[in-house]
A and B are shown apart, each in its own frame.
Chain A
Amino acid sequence: MNFFVELLITISLVVSGIFGLVGSYGLVKLKDSLQRLHAPTKATTLGVGGVLVASMIYFYAKTGYLSVHELLITVFLLLTAPITANFIAKTYMARNIRQSDLPDSQSTCGWSIYDEPPESRPGS
């Protein structure tokens, strides 16, 4: 492995470490749950992403094959992170936030946490 490859791997590992740390620090620093939600959904994607990039470069340099596992992990991560965040946000809202605290939905119905969907809509 030459110097340039090692440098690339090191850079992505350091970047991922920094973002992982910042994401965790955000959990401690921000004050309410909804704000805390921002830290892990964002900062950690680059945190994990950096490790995956490093792993891909390392195995490509070592074996000569491009490993697809890392790409799949990225895809799974990008698909699941927003859904988890949405679950946490909805649970928090249902338990702690009253409808009057939220802005008006500007639609024919209120927010789905508090309001039933209209009857005519199929599939809901």
Chain B
Amino acid sequence: MLKRLIPHPLLSLTLVFVWLGLVNKFTLGNLLLGGLFGIIIPMLTAPYWPDRPKISRPLKVLEYGFVVLWDIVVANIQVAAIILFKREENIQSHWIVVPLELTSAEAITVLAGTITMTPGTVSATLAADGGSILVHCLHTDDVDAVRDEIKTRYERRLKEIFQ
């Protein structure tokens, strides 16, 4: 019963906080309204999200968040430098195949999003069975190094979080 009422407790909690943030004022009425949204929206969207991902180490999520935020800032500067200072014919774009050890759909989604937001890489598509991810790299001299960095820096952390 409780599982049908609140299929995704974390999503419900997030919705409450997002609602309180949107109205930008903490009152009892807003809290109740946020709670109502937190129950109704996950119920309506439950058919599209049947799995229940388990986050085993919440502290690792924070660490991952900070690593990614830092990398986004670095990525911005690197890409800006490439755009501004590299001659067009010197920019060497590559396709990079990253074999995945992650299996859950949520973990792969987070990884794909992270890859897109970080240094010079955009995730393009997955293998049909989810066994590897295709990444487009704006400029690199060492394809293997980029692949290894994605694997050790992001995938390893996500594995600890989701498995």
Interface positions of A (Cβ within 8 A of B): 18-19, 22-23, 25-26, 29-31, 34-35, 37-39, 41-43, 45-46, 67-69, 71-72, 78-79, 81-83, 85-86, 89-90, 93, 102-113, 115-118, 121, 123-124
Cα A118 to Cα B126 in complex, Å, equals: 13
Q: Is the CB of A68 within 8 A of B80?
A: no
Q: Is the CB of A35 within 8 A of B93?
A: yes
Secondary structure at the A interface, as helix, strand, loop or mixed, is helix
Cα A50 to Cα B128 in complex, Å, equals: 38
The one of A43, A46, A72, A85 in contact with B83, judged by C-beta atoms closer than 8 angstroms, is A43
Known: A38-B122, A42-B75. A30 touches B83 (CB 8 A): yes
> Closest residue of chain A to B81, judged by CB?
A22
Q: Is the CB of A68 within 8 A of B79?
A: no
> Closest residue of chain B to A75, judged by CB?
B18
Q: Is the CB of B117 within 8 A of A45?
A: yes
Q: Is the CB of B116 within 8 A of A81?
A: yes
B62-79: CB near A (< 8 Å → 1, else 0) gives: 000000000011011001
> Closest residue of chain B to A94, judged by CB?
B125
Total of A-B residue pairs, C-beta within 8 Å: 147
Contacts of A90 in B (CB 8 A): 124-125
Contacts of A26 in B (CB 8 A): 79, 83
> Closest approach, in angstroms, between the C-beta of B83 and any C-beta of chain A?
4
Interface size class of B (residues with CB under 8 A): 35 or more
Q: Is the CB of A82 within 8 A of B117?
A: yes
Cα A111 to Cα B42 in complex, Å, equals: 31
Q: Does chain A have a CB within 8 A of B61? A: no
Cα A35 to Cα B120 in complex, Å, equals: 9
Q: Is the CB of A109 within 8 A of B127?
A: yes
Leading 3 A-B pairs by shortest Cβ distance: A107-B131, A109-B128, A82-B116
Q: Does chain A have a CB within 8 A of B29? A: no
> Closest residue of chain A to B117, judged by CB?
A82
* Additional pairs, 11, CB under 8 Å, beyond known A25-B84, A112-B125, A115-B127: A34-B93, A38-B79, A39-B83, A42-B117, A45-B117, A68-B20, A68-B21, A72-B22, A89-B123, A109-B127, A109-B129
Known: A34-B136, A68-B24, A81-B117. A89 touches B79 (CB 8 A): no
Q: Does chain A have a CB within 8 A of B9? A: no
